Structures are given as C-alpha cells and as structure tokens.
C-alpha cells in the first residue's frame, strides 16, 4: 500500500456540488449523501442499471430498445449491452447545429482556422453524400492517413454517419507501417493531407499516397486536402482527387443510418513492435457510452469548456478527444510538435484559446520540469481547471511540479487505459482528492482488481491489473481473426474469464491506483518483481539525466537490471555519475532496484505515440530480432543497443 497521505488538492463541498458526477448520483442514486466509492460499488453490482443511467444522463440520441439492457454470458467477452438498441455515433457528436465554435485547428506554420457546429454539420453532409454516392456501404472502411486536423474529424464523422468504419494513423508512419495497418483492413477510400509538419520541417505525403494506391487494391479513391501550398497535390496519384473538388455539392442534410449498438465504428491498432499490429475492432455504442461516461462524469466536461488533448490520429486519445463534441464544447486540434517553435507553445495555447481542460503526456510534463519552465510566472492560465496526463505513469515529482508551477486549485488526473478498451480503466475524478503518484480512482462500471499470478485478489502489494466484469467498450474482436483466437489470447489467456490489462499495479490506501509499468516489461532480479516506473522515478531525480530506459538482461540463471541513460546537453558520463545514480536509487527505493549496469546512449526507441519500447530494447540486447521497426518513430535508435561490450561481462 502507498503511505502517501498528504493530498495535493482537495475539492470543496461547493466544488463537488457543481460537478456532473454529483448531479448524476443525485439523479440516479438519490436519497444518500454523495460518496464516490458507494456510487462505484453500485456501478459494478448492477451493470444494467448503471449503464442505462449513463445512457439517460448523456441524453444519447437513438433508440435504447426494450429491456434487458444487459445480457450476461458464460464468458465475459460474449456478454451484451443494449442488445435491442440502435443509434448513430456521428449523430450524437453533431447534436448542435448553431454558430458556437466546434473546432479550432492550429498548424506549426502559424495558421489557425476554426469551424462552427453549423459549418461542421454542413461539411459532414457534403462529404457523406459524396462517399455514399461513390459506393460506400455499411461496414466499408475509410482510412485517414492524416495529421490531427479538422478535415480528419470531418472524414471520420462523414464515414460513421452512413455506417462506414473509420480507421486512421498519423502521417509520420512510414510506408510499411501504413501498409501493415491499412493493408489488413482494406479501406475503400483514403483521406489524407498533401503534407504535414513536425518541428518546423514540412514533409510531403504524395509519394507515399501514390505507393499506397498501388499496394492496396481495395482503395478506389484518395481524397487529399491542401495543407501546405508548396506541395503538389493529386496530379501524381491516378485515383487522387482534391478535397475541394470532392465535397463540391449542395447537400445540407445528413441521413444518419441507425445501427445496432454493436455495429463496428473504429478499427484501432496495437503498437506492432512484436509483429504486424493487431487490428482492434470497436463498437459504436460502446465507444459512445464509455466516452460520455468518462467525459461527463470523470472529466466533468461541460459545453462551455475548451478541451485540448495533445495527440496524433494514430493514438486512441484522438478518438477520445473527438468524442468530446457530444458534450457541445469547443475542441482544439493541433498538428506538429508540442515544443515547436519553443517549449512554451502549448502553454501559450492555454492562454490564447482559453483552454479549461488540458491533456498531455506524462513525458511532456516531465520535459517541462527538466527545462525549468514555471508556467504561472509567464502565463495567466485563467480558465484552466483540469490537467489530464496519460501515456505512461506520472511521477510523484511531476505531480508536485504541476501544483507548484501551474495552479494550486486544479484537478490533476493521471489516467490509464488503452487502445484495447478505447478509454480509461483508472480515471480522473473532480470530486476526489489528488495524491502525488496516484491515479485517483477506478472508473465507474469497471470491476477492477489487482491479483497475484493465480488470479487471486491481493490484499496489498503489486500485481496484475485486471477487470472482472464485462464493459460496453470491450472490442468486438480483432479484424480477420477466425474464432476470436488472437483476441482471446491477448486478454483472457492469463486468467480464466478475467480481462488482463497487461499492467503491473497496486491499489492504494485511498482506493486509487499506482501503475508501475507494463507487466511484460517488469524486471525480476532474484525473483522480486520490479516495475520500470519505480526505477525511472528515482533515476530522473539525477539532474544530468534527460531520459532513461530500464530492461532486464538474462545473466547467470537470473535477471540483472540494465539502465540506459540519455544525458542533458553539456553533461558528461562518468564513474561519479554512475555512483550518484546508484546512490539515489538505493536510498529512495531498495537495493534490488539498483541497476547492475548503467550505460550511456544518445536516443531511446519509442512508438509513434511516444511510449518507450522496453521489450524491443530487451530483444536487441539478447540478440533477438525486432519484427516491426516501422512501428517506431526512431528505429535507428535500436542500433546503439546491439553487441554492447559492457553487457558481455
């Protein structure tokens, strides 16, 4: 158990009473004093009643159908929510048709453009009409190979409005990475920008689009929107058409197709660092309901909010952000680097766009801290009331940094979930205190637990993070997976009839959670399981270290911990630095956490969404192949880890 008892922030009674979560509890579970943990118990003890209440509270547009709203099955993956319901995901995101700004797009070149809910509806009407006219049928796939742009959102809404299935990845994926994804799901249409920018450098997409048109025969048309003027558009692509040409019609209404709750909506992809990425198929009703629950209840999203989450179209946080339109708020969509043209870029955005809910990665907050940036000395942050963080565990130091340098009075929510459930198991909560290093609570409707290797509940200590109950946003399955064999191997092979999330975790004294890293990256020196996040937290206290990655090396019939470090500019690697790192880790953790080897590198391999790939590094140091390096943003970084003399002794 975590003994951290000092809350960094506590909501007042007045604050709690103004939240959506409080209103929800008072409406659907009345006649009792507000208590999140009692509400949580209600939510897992009566799944049908709880998810029906979420449907009603969210004012879902659609037909809920006749009860039952939940049908259990022998295996949790085969249980069904709302088996008689019909709805349309896009219709729920386009409820508004007024002049309120729906989306603000920002580009690295300084361009800013926005679109109202009325204009958004109009563009979706034009695009969906043309897609349908060109033969897009229910269940057909449309792929977005696109930056995080307003056009990407229009493309997704137009596809799903008429029953198509949307899939996307960001344009920084190389040709093979895109082929490995879209080639499996065979899209009929592809939507792309002519170029994208990162860190001030513009990259053309045209050559890759031409190659994809030749390699994926299912693609009938490539629709290209004009993002950067000096890049040629469609002339070189035989099946290419410009965005402006394609949506040049007078259509003003959308004929939203009403579909079953379990109709496919999105195809998402696993990181693909151990082979071809798995194509995870998500259902329309499950995604909508889960996102409404997380946005309205756990994030307290309201229509007057300005909502931002830094993401690319290759990460599930993009899908999560876009669902915020169902709440009628304004979304900020950003293409490019979070640190270009300078480290204050996103902080400037908070003030310029009056952002109230600000979402970033744990790595971003750590980088700000390492750069000694103090936001409240340079920025007003007037309307900022919540910061969300995900992607990796947020360290205690980063929690403290936020409250010391942003604002004392805000909710800092570290959340954890994944592409697998297209949401968060461990969520934020505007009605609970924030404790450094902890995720505030288990998400409503998830019977979450931490178990030992036999699947038994752990009263205390670290173990496997699991979900014992079905939930609406469970995937339908994997694309082209006969008998759901790969799907079941991914989540249910570890424990009987229990979803294993693949995280190494602990439940705290406050009924919050601490995530220590991925289970498959857990270190095991002398038979003691250590999460990599525990080592990173201590190592990053050493001023000279910019970032680091820890892996286990098989050695003398045991496992020894190896720590690779990237140093800040003008810092040098020395025996004194090695001793300092070891001392800090030993003093603040245990001798078991102290690395046997500490080695300097100049880069750490990461996925396209910025997550470090411990397994890939572990494979390389053991001389094993990394099957799909195209899933990495910097695959050349792996070369540094090959045949290291230091690891032969």
- The answer to whether residues 465 and 556 belong to one domain is no
Q: Are residues 269 and 210 in the same domain?
A: yes
Domain membership flag for residue 398? yes
Structure tokens at 42: 């209600």
Q: Are residues 268 and 403 in the same domain?
A: yes
State residue 547 phi and psi, 5-degree precision: -155, 165
Q: Is residue 307 part of a domain?
A: yes
Which domain CATH number covers 116? 3.40.50.12780
DSSP state of 383: T
State the pLDDT at residue 274. Answer: 60
User: Looking at the structure, do residues 266 and 409 belong to the same domain, yes or no?
Assistant: yes
Assigned domain for 105 exists: yes
The ranges of the chain with pLDDT < 50 are 1-3
Provide the residue range defining the domain that includes 530. Answer: 526-648
Pick from 468, 491, 513: which residue ends a domain?
513
Residue 79 counted as domain residue: no
User: Is residue 127 within 8 Å of 356, Cβ to Cβ?
Assistant: no
Would residue 48 count as lying in a domain? no
* Entry field: residues in the chain: 649
| Residue 50: count of CB within 10 angstroms of its CB | 22
Instruction: Tell whether 504 and 553 lie within a shared domain.
Output: no
List all residues 6 or more positions away from 69 whose beta carbon is below 8 Å from its beta carbon: 48, 51, 52, 55, 81, 82, 85
Please indicate, yes or no, whether residues 407 and 304 belong to a single structural domain of this protein. Answer: yes
Kindly state whether residues 539 and 439 are assigned to the same domain: no
Total domains in the chain come to 2
Same domain, 203 and 308: yes
According to DSSP, the β-strands at 221-225 and 189-193 are parallel
Q: In terms of domains, do 434 and 530 share one?
A: no
CB count within 10 Å of CB 583 equals: 13
How many Cβ atoms from other residues are within 10 Å of residue 471's Cβ?
Answer: 24
Choosing from 489, 513, 537, the residue where a domain stops is: 513
DSSP-derived 3-state class of residue 113: strand
Q: Is 53 within the bounds of a domain? A: no
Supply the pLDDT for residue 628. 73
CA distance 641 to 649: 15
In degrees and rounded to multiples of 5, residue 252 shows phi and psi of -125, -15
Asked whether residue 388 falls in the same domain as residue 409, the answer is yes
Q: Of 482, 513, 544, which marks where a domain is finished? A: 513
311 & 362 share domain? yes
Query: Do 578 and 504 share a domain, yes or no?
Result: no
61: in domain: no
pLDDT of 349: 97
pTM (2 d.p.): 0.89
- Residue 4 within a domain: no
Residues 6+ apart with CB under 8 A from 575: none
Q: What is the pLDDT of residue 267?
A: 98
């Amino acid at each position: 158990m975590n003994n951290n008892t000092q809350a960094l922030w506590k909501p007042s009674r007045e604050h709690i009473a103004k939240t959506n979560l409080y209103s929800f509890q008072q409406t659907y579970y009345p006649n009792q004093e507000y208590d999140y943990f009692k509400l949580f118990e209600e939510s897992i003890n009566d799944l049908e009643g709880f998810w029906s209440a979420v449907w009603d509270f969210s004012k879902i547009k659609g037909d809920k159908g006749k009860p039952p709203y939940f049908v259990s099955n022998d295996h949790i993956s085969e249980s069904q929510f709302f088996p008689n319901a019909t709805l349309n995901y896009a219709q729920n995101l386009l409820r508004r048709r007024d002049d309120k700004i729906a989306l603000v797009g920002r580009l690295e070149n300084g361009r800013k453009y926005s679109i109202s809910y009325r204009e958004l509806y109009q563009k979706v009407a034009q695009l969906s009409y043309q897609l349908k006219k060109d033969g897009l049928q229910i269940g057909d796939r449309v792929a977005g190979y696109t930056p995080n742009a307003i056009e990407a959102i229009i493309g997704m809404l137009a596809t799903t409005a008429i029953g198509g299935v949307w899939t996307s990845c960001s344009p920084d994926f190389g040709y093979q990475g895109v082929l490995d994804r879209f080639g499996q799901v065979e899209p009929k249409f592809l939507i792309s920008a002519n170029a994208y920018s990162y860190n001030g450098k513009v990259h053309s997409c045209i050559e890759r689009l031409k190659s994809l048109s030749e390699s994926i025969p299912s693609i009938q048309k490539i629709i290209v929107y004009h993002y950067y003027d000096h890049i040629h558009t469609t002339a070189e692509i035989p099946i290419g058409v410009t965005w402006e040409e394609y949506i040049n019609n007078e259509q003003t209404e959308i004929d939203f197709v009403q579909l079953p709750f379990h109709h496919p909506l999105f195809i998402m992809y696993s990181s693909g660092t151990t082979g071809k990425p798995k194509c995870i198929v998500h259902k329309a009703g499950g995604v909508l309901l889960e996102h409404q629950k997380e946005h309205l209840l756990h994030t307290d999203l309201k229509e007057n909010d300005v909502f931002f989450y830094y993401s690319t179209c290759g990460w599930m946080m993009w899908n999560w952000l876009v669902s915020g339109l169902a709440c009628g708020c304004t979304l900020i969509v950003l293409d490019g680097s979070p640190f270009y043209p300078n480290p204050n870029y996103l902080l400037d955005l908070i003030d310029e766009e009056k952002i109230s809910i600000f979402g970033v990665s744990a790595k971003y907050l750590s980088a700000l801290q390492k750069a000694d940036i103090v936001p409240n000395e340079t920025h007003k942050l007037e309307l900022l009331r919540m910061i969300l963080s995900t992607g990796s565990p947020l360290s205690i130091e980063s929690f403290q940094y936020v409250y010391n340098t942003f604002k004392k009075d805000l909710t800092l929510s570290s959340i954890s979930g994944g592409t697998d459930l297209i949401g968060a198991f461990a969520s934020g909560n505007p009605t609970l205190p924030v404790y450094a290093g902890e995720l505030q609570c288990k998400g409503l409707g998830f019977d979450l637990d931490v178990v030992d290797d036999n699947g038994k509940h752990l009263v205390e200590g670290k173990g496997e993070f699991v979900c014992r109950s079905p939930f609406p946003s469970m995937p339908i399955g994997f694309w082209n997976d006969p008998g759901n064999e790969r799907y079941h191997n991914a989540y249910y092979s570890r424990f009987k009839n229990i979803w294993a999330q693949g995280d190494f975790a602990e439940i705290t004294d406050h009924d919050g959670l601490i995530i220590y890293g991925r289970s498959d990256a857990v270190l095991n020196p002398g038979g003691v399981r250590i999460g990599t996040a525990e080592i990173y937290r201590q190592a990053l206290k050493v001023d000279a270290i910019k970032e680091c990655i820890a892996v286990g090396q098989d050695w003398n019939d045991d496992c020894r911990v190896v720590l690779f470090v990237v140093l800040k500019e003008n810092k040098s690697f020395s025996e004194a630095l090695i001793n300092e790192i070891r001392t800090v880790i030993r003093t603040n953790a245990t001798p078991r956490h102290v690395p046997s080897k500490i080695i300097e590198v100049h880069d750490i391999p990461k996925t396209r969404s910025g997550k470090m790939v411990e397994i890939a590094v572990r494979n390389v140091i053991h001389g094993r192949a990394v099957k799909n390096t195209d899933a990495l943003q910097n695959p050349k970084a792996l070369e540094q880890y090959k045949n290291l003399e230091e690891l032969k002794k």
